[in-house]
Structure formats: C-alpha cells, structure tokens
Amino acid sequence: MTNKPKIILGMGTCGMAAGAKTLLEKVESHIREKKIDAEIVHVGCIGMCHEEPLLDIAMPNRCRVIYNKVKPEDVSKIIDSHVLKDKPSKEHALSQILPDNGANPYIGITYFEEMPFNRKQQRIVLKNCGFINPLYIDEYIARDGYEAAKKVLFSMKPEEIIDTVKRSGLRGRGGGGFPTGLKWEFCRKAAGDTKYLICNADEGDPGAFMDRSVLEGDPHSVLEGMIIAAYAIGANQGYIYVRAEYPLAVKHLKIAIDQAREKDFLGKNILGTGFDFDIDLKQGAGAFVCGEETALIASIEGERGMPRAKPPFPANKGLWGKPTNINNVETFANVPQIILKGADWYSGFGTEKSKGTKVFALTGKIKRPGLIEVPMGIPLKEIIFDIGGGVADGTKFKAVQTGGPSGGCIPAELIDTSVDYESLTAAGTMMGSGGMVVMDNANCMVEMARFFLNFSTEESCGKCVPCRIGTKRLLEILERIIAGKGRENDLDLLSRLGSTVKGASLCGLGQTAPNPVLSMMRYFKDEYEEHIKDKSCRTGACTALSRYIVNPDTCKMCGICVKGCPVEAIADGTKKAKKPALIDDEKCIRCGICFEKCPFGVIYTKGAKKAAHVKEGLSEVKV
C-alpha cells in the first residue's frame, strides 16, 4: 500500500466496452507528461454500468470521488484539479465513497451510499467489486479475505460448517434455489473416499452478467467459498466451469488461483492443516445446456455436454462417477461472509423462506441498468423504479422478465410482487440466476416470447424428443402468428404443447423453455388474440402486421419514395404521374425505406393498434 494519490479505473467488461481502455491510455499519458506521482488502480464493476466509463480519484486521507461518463478530453482537467490542487472537479463528479477509516469528505458531493441506485442495496457478494484490485490478493486479504477459510480450517469441524450454512438459510443462487447446506450434507454423507467440488460459472442467460462481474471484480471470494465447501464435504479437487466467452473473468481467475497457491490457500497441506485442495479451470464452449449440472459434468469429463436422467444425483454419482457438489459463483461468494459473521446475521436479511440477498443484472428498457444486490423480499417496484429509475420518459412500464429464457414475465399490475423464490413462482416465473429484463409498452409480448423461445430452441442439446421437437413446434406457431398467419386454435395449441414440453423433457432447459410463452399468454392474452384475429400488433414491432400508407392529401409527388423502394412496390408519386404515391401491400416487404426517405413525413403505418409510442386510441402511427 502506498500513500500516493490513487487514480482508479473501472476496468471490468462493461467499463472496457464504454471506453475505459482509452481513458487508461489518456491517464497514463497525462501523469507521465505532468510528472504526477500517482498510483493507477484497476477495479472491477462497481455496479453502475449506466455511468460508465468511471474514473475515481482517492487522495491520501480523503474520500474517494467517483467521476462518471468521463471522456478522454475530461481527463486532464479532472486530474489537474483533483490531484494537483485537491479540488474535485464538481462539473464531472458523481459521488464520493465514505470509507471506514475516517477519511475527510468533500463538501457538496453526494455520498455513494445515498444515491438512489445504491440506497436500497445490501452488498454482501458485491462488497469488494469496484473497491479492490482483483489482480492483487493482498487487497482481498486486507478486507478480511481468507479469514473465513482460516477459521474453518483451524477451529471448525465439517459438520459445524454445514450446520452454519443450513441455519443461514442460503439457497442455491444458480436458479433452483435448493438449500445449500443440505446439498453439502448429502455429498458429505455420500459413500466414497474421492469427492469433487464444482463451481458453475457457465452463465448464459440473455442479459445476465452477475457471475461475470463477480469473477472479474472479486475472484478470491469465490475461491475462498470453494475452499470452505471442499473442507465441509471432504473434497480434494475442485473445478470452475467458466465459459470461454468471458476472457477477462478467465484471466482474473487464473491469476487468483496462482496467487492463492503462492499464499498456501490452495494445494497440498493448506496452511499446515493437513487439508489438500486445489482448483482447476475448465473453459466451456458456451452451450447454454451446460448450465444444467449433469451436462456440465459431462463436459468436464470431455464428453458432449448433454444431461442425463436423475437419480442418481451428482451428490451420489457425479464427476467420473464420484460424489460431487455443484454450486454457482454467487452461492460460493456468500459463504465466507456467512462463516465470518454467522448464520443469524445472514438470515437476518430476506424473508422467512428466502434468506439473504440476491444479485441481479438489471437490463432492458430501464434508465439505470447495472449490477445490483438487494435483500430478498424487496418489492419488485423498488428495484424497477427506486433503484433502476423506471423506464424512459414518455413510455410506460409494461413487464419484467425474470429468470432469463427459463423464467417468465411479471406484468405492471403485479409490480408490488415480493422478490423471493415463493412469490416469483406463484406469479408464474422464477428467480433464476438473476437476470431482469425490463420491458416498456413499445415491446410486443408475442415477439418477446418468440425471442426467448428461439434462444432455448437453438440451445437445446437434442437428446430428448419433447425438447428437440416440441420447442421447434412452439417456435413455428409463434413465428406464424407474428407473420400474420395465426389460426384460431393457436392459443390452445401453444398451451397444450407447452405443458407437454414442460412435463416430458429430460432436463431443466426443456422443462422451463415454454415458460416465457405461457406466462406471457397468461398476462397478455389480448395481444396474442389481436395478432391472430385482428392481424394487428399494437406496438408496431411485428412489421408483417403493419401496412405502410401514403397520405394522399399531403403527398408532394416528389418521387423520392418511388426511387428508394427496393422492390418497386410504389406506383405513381411523381409530378409526371400527377398522382400521389400508392404502396402495393402485396409487393411491400415492410423494409421501412419509404418512411425513412420521405422528407415530408406523409408515410405512416396502419394496423398497429394503441401503439406504444403514441397516445392511447390511435390506430395509425409513425414508425
């Protein structure tokens, strides 16, 4: 640790995508040019993805100030004012972080903890993300890192560890919600001298980035949780199964594992206790089905990632036929804090049956997308509006998809739903791993159902007929409806076929694939009926159900739309023809070029009832 000014950059995937690498180059160049003696620190995602790229400055004995949406041209002004003069650039400052060491705050700058995005959060899993450099184990150790591992290795029996986790109420955060302590107990009691521990980091839900952010920003918390779990169940070898599409997470994990070995937290005779445990990485090829534990096991074994029937469960017969315990990234990251602070402390958060906190990736039509961690039981309304800031101005919140392609949607009228396992299940969806995709009234729910189902269909491994064929048939029906060729019995067919696929599929992918379709039919049946009976999409998103129309009274007969049409679907419309343009609906391919080309705004669409982006009651909208 140094007593130099620190220039801190959010170098997680979200920050890099927003331009953090360019900022880093600018910072390095500027402090070299000005000969500023400052330390440049890389951190992971602090959660506020909507404010990226972030550049923070921490002066000795002063609060750390966060600068948001920093542009390269802002760097010199911010550094010169703050580092050289100890005067934060309030023009660019977002907030300041009040640490526990009594550092002096700056007057007139909002506190990080008091911002609407952070006010209702409770950071347990994310406590270090954005606050430590994940490439240096000493920074993790300085924040009580590996103290929980020492505690269990030197003073707790495996049965005590399992009992503590059971009493904490921690449930698997990968989607199933099975009690973690009970799962460990099953594996602990399973017959066999060789046992394995696996961390499932194969995060694949559209819009989900919880595990990626934890692995990038605080990999040691996951390693420590795995050490504790391995000691509890009697495993000497662990694996982290991470998708290769997460290169930064893979890089940080490799460094963290090497550092943990150097510090004697991994390997033979850990800390002289006689306990042996090591961890290897297995990079997956991105198959969504490998999020299912038996498919994941097959992939580690070098086989094609395909699920098998259960029982036997992995706790009894898993990796290479040996008892195996599998938990996901977030589950393991909770464990050190539970061991350090106690079961009662952790169970003090949440509801009676859903204890602790949950990390969510808040995405979609939301003002403040990002990574959040909230107590279980928080009303959905507080997540969407208080933390996320609601949807964009001029639109209206319509629904939120939870649980990814395996989950379902919650409509606006259920916005007060408690976010816990039981309440979400009762609403027809699920917790899942933590993806939340927010939709406004510009989203067509039939199209959204098709989007999620298309993902599951493409990711089906094809092993069982209900999933391999059933999801394709469901998708074909939805595509027919969206194309304006829906039939009267399609809703009944979707319902019956969806129930069959759910009940007869081999693994969780097929058993949950129809969920988006069925939940959206449950809450938005009127939209399905409009698509089928009226051949209309109220949002205008389904272009096959819309017609481009030229207003004959205002057409200037300039011929621009006629020249722009790629399929020659527009007749007349020129001074020579002396007639307003007329679009042939049968030839029209709904490309929208005529609308884009028309300089006078006389082309509109017809057939989009109560369109999302116009006032209620209008049947004709500009697109």
pLDDT in tens, 330-374: 999 999 999 999 999 999 999 999 999 999 999 999 999 999 999
Burial grade of 382 (CB within 10 A; 0-12, 13-18, 19 or more): middle
- Confidence (pLDDT) at 612: 34
Token reading at 376:
């279980």
Gap between the Cα atoms of 548 and 545, Å rounded: 10
| Position 332, amino acid | F
Q: What is the pLDDT of residues 290-330, one digit of tens each?
A: 999 999 999 999 999 999 999 999 999 999 999 999 999 99
The ranges assigned to domains in the chain are 6-115, 137-346, 357-440, 445-534, 547-606
Residue 94 clears pLDDT 60, i.e. is over it:
yes
Q: Residue 616 above 90 pLDDT?
A: no
pLDDT tens digits, one per residue of 121-150 = 999 999 999 999 999 999 999 999 999 999
* Confidence at residue 607, expressed as pLDDT on a 0 to 100 scale: 59
CATH class of this structure's domain 357-440: alpha beta
| Joined tokens for residue 448 | 């959204």
Give the closest residue to 506 by CA, choosing from 452, 467, 450, 552.
467
SS3 (DSSP) at 127: coil
Alpha-carbon distance of 224 to 140, in angstroms, equals 11
| pLDDT top residue among 3 and 171 | 171
CA–CA separation, 585 and 195 (whole Å): 66
pLDDT over 60 at 118, yes or no: yes
The reply to whether 445-534 shares the fold of 357-440 is no
Q: What local confidence, expressed as pLDDT, does residue 589 receive?
A: 86
User: What pLDDT shows up at residue 2?
Assistant: 64
Please state, in angstroms and rounded to a whole number, the distance separating the CA atoms of residues 495 and 163: 43
Residues 6+ apart with CB under 8 A from 601: 622
**Does pLDDT of 430 surpass 70?**
yes
Place of tokens 């406590």: 127
- Which range, of 91-100, 343-352, 433-442, averages the lowest pLDDT? 91-100
With pLDDT > 90 as the criterion, what percentage of the chain qualifies? 87
Instruction: Classify domain 137-346 at the CATH superfamily level.
Output: NADH-ubiquinone oxidoreductase 51kDa subunit (3.40.50.11540)
Position 617 scores a pLDDT of 30
Question: How confident is residue 611, by pLDDT bands cut at 50, 70 and 90?
Answer: very low
Q: Who's near 258: CB < 8 A, 6+ residues apart? A: none
- What is d(CA 159, CA 231) in angstroms, rounded to the nearest whole number? 10
Inter-residue contact 330 to 496 (CB < 8 Å):
no
CATH code, residues 6-115: 3.40.30.10
Average pLDDT of the residues of the chain:
93
Show the tokens assigned to 150. Answer: 């020492």
pLDDT tens digits for 555-602? 999 999 999 999 999 999 898 889 999 999 889 988 889 988 999 989
Question: Among 23-32, 280-289, 391-400, 608-617, which stretch is predicted with the lowest mean pLDDT?
Answer: 608-617
Report the alpha-carbon distance of residue 177 to residue 545 in Å, rounded: 41
Q: Identify the weakest region by mean pLDDT among 110-124, 231-245, 528-542.
A: 528-542
End-to-end CA distance of the chain: 57
Q: Which CATH architecture has domain 445-534?
A: Up-down Bundle (1.20)
The span from the CA of 476 to the CA of 497, in Å, is: 12
Average pLDDT over residues 56-61: 95
CA pair distance 309, 307, nearest whole angstrom = 7
Burial class (CB in 10 A: 0-12, 13-18, 19+), 477: buried
Number of alpha helices (DSSP H) and beta strands (DSSP E) in the chain:
25, 19
Rounded to 10 degrees, the C-alpha dihedral 484/487/493/494 comes to 20
CATH of 547-606, one of 3.40.640.10, 3.10.580.10, 3.40.50.720, 3.30.70.20: 3.30.70.20
Report the alpha-carbon distance of residue 425 to residue 433 in Å, rounded: 14
537-563: average pLDDT: 90
What is the spatial distance between Cα 43 and Cα 444, in angstroms, rounded to a whole number?
Answer: 38
Q: Specify the pLDDT at position 457.
A: 96
Can you tell me the distance from the alpha carbon of 432 to that of 424, in angstroms, rounded to the nearest whole number? 10
Residue with tokens 């997470």: 249
Please check the confidence at residue 111 and state whether its pLDDT lies above 80.
yes
Q: Is the confidence at residue 501, as pLDDT, over 70? A: yes
Per-residue pLDDT for 462 more than 80?
yes
- The pLDDT assigned to 605 comes to 76
**What's the whole-number mean pLDDT along residues 230-244?**
97
Contact indicator for 436, 368 with CB cutoff of 8 Å: no
- Is pLDDT above 60 for 405? yes
